[in-house]
Amino acid sequence: MSAPTRSFAGKNVIITGGTRGIGRGLVEAFSQAGARVIFTYKTNDQLARELEWGIRQAGGQAQGFNVDVADADAIERWKEQVLEKIETIDVLINNAGIIRDKALAMMSRQDWEEVINTNLHGVYNVTRSFIVTFMKQRQGNIINMSSVSGIIGTPRQTNYAASKGAIIAFSKSLSREAAPYGVRVNVIAPGFIDTDMTRGLKEDHIAQLKTMIPMARFGTAEEVGKLALFLASDAASYITGQVIRVDGGMSMS
């Protein structure tokens, strides 16, 4: 990897779901660009501490908080902790999400509610907690992570697709509310990204999926991170309310 510019030096960035996969890539990308990163995670304290240590060793700043984005009261308490540490928030990335893939006929209410509570209610809880801060600042960037599943639909993911599609509608509405305050809201919709989750798929399934992608490969968390850096930068100062797909062309038709 080439040495990144320190274009986010002095900036404060909040990322939910930051210890694995795309979230980890986002934490690394912004810390390498000079930002102070605050990230959330839900289960793995050791992984969070290892990520913090690795970023410190590389000269960056990152701090993880064990908090469930689906718990509105916990998010409010965490917000107060965050605002005690930093005066301004430059970027908020809502990345935390889970999957519970099943055909609808086999999907339990719990499968449905857990995905909606984390993926959609989590975005509401976190954004609602910080939106007044953004508006008072009269500047900032919110990036919500959706999925091509929320655009084109994917089988065995009615719960996931519903949550990700709703995030797009939520973001478009919020972008109109927030624009007069100098706050931009955009959406990144990844396709298949090379993470722990996709590496767990069977080889023949991976090969089949790649035939659906014009670029014939999975994307990387680093590629998603580069897009997030762009959307949060001054180079994108006139971009808001947009949904940008990172899927190798899979959903272009």
Residue 1 confidence (pLDDT): 37
Position 222 in a domain:
yes
Please state, in angstroms and rounded to a whole number, the distance separating the CA atoms of residues 14 and 6: 17
Question: Which phi and psi (to 5°) does residue 39 adopt?
Answer: -130, 155
- Tokens 């107060």 found at: 80
Residue 165's domain is classified under what CATH number? 3.40.50.720
Q: For residue 88, what pLDDT is reported?
A: 96
Q: What is the mean pLDDT of residues 183-199?
A: 94
What's the domain range around 102?
Answer: 12-246
In a domain, 5, yes or no: no
Does residue 178 lie in a domain region?
yes
Residues designated as active site = 160
Number of domains in the chain: 1
Task: Specify the pLDDT at position 3.
Answer: 42
Q: What is the pLDDT of residues 161-186, one digit of tens each?
A: 999 999 999 999 999 999 999 999 99
For a pLDDT cut of 70, what percent of the chain falls above it?
A: 98
Is position 4 within any domain? Answer: no
Compute the distance between CA of residue 191 and CA of residue 246 in angstroms, rounded to an integer: 6
Q: What is the per-residue pLDDT for 253?
A: 60
Q: Which residues contact 93 (CB under 8 A, 6 or more apart)?
A: 13, 14, 15, 16, 26, 142, 143, 144, 145, 228
Does 1 fall in a domain?
no
The answer to whether position 55 is within a domain reads yes
How far is it, in rounded angstroms, from Cα 237 to Cα 243? 15
Distance CA 92, CA 90 (A): 7
| Cβ–Cβ under 8 Å, residues 222 and 1 | yes
Give the β-pairing of 183-190 and 243-246: parallel
- pLDDT at residue 2 tops 80: no
Residue that is written with structure tokens 């100098």 in the block: 182
Q: By C-alpha distance, which of 81, 87, 105, 112 is closest to 36?
A: 87
Q: How far apart are CA 82 and CA 156, in angstroms?
A: 37
Is 68 domain-assigned?
A: yes
Within-domain flag for 253: no
